[in-house]
Amino acid sequence: MRARSLRLVGSVAAVAAVGATGLAGCSDSGAPTVSAGSSGVQVEIANTINYGSVGTTAEIDCAGGKSLTVGGSNNTLTVKGTCSNVNVGGADNRLTFDEIADALNVVGLNNTVSYSTGQPKVNDTGSGNSIRKG
């Protein structure tokens, strides 16, 4: 039980970090778009979507080249469109992408990431992650 509690605390911290990271880089590019509900928290600043949640299933649209940062744990996300850059933190997430164009960075634990098309530079500095094209 203690390991699960520590993992949950880490996941909540990752969700908070997603929002803080996105806001730290905020410039005069307009007001951020925020949506929250039963499918997690999504903050869009300029051309970057920051998504964080615990235990949700959701669909996200990268449209024509937005970047995406994901935090939290036990999420199942289907990402439509073309993401230019993707950063994945958190643990035990299952992410399916239409396309990742430029870069995929995975720093979390036990995440499963698949993408249909694209030739991103893949950087997996986490542990137990599964990354595949196809």
In this structure, are residues 47 and 67 in contact, taking their beta carbons and an 8 Å threshold? yes
Domain ranges of the chain: 2-133
pLDDT tens digits for range 7-62: 443 444 444 444 444 444 444 455 555 555 556 888 999 899 999 999 999 999 99
Q: Is the pLDDT of residue 115 over 80?
A: yes
CA distance 75 to 91: 9
Query: Residue 72: is it exposed, middle or buried by C-beta count within 10 angstroms (0-12/13-18/19+)?
Result: buried
What is d(CA 99, CA 106) in angstroms, rounded to the nearest whole number? Answer: 16
Percentage of residues of the chain with pLDDT beyond 70: 71
Q: How far is CA 68 from CA 2, 46, 89, in A?
A: 31, 11, 11
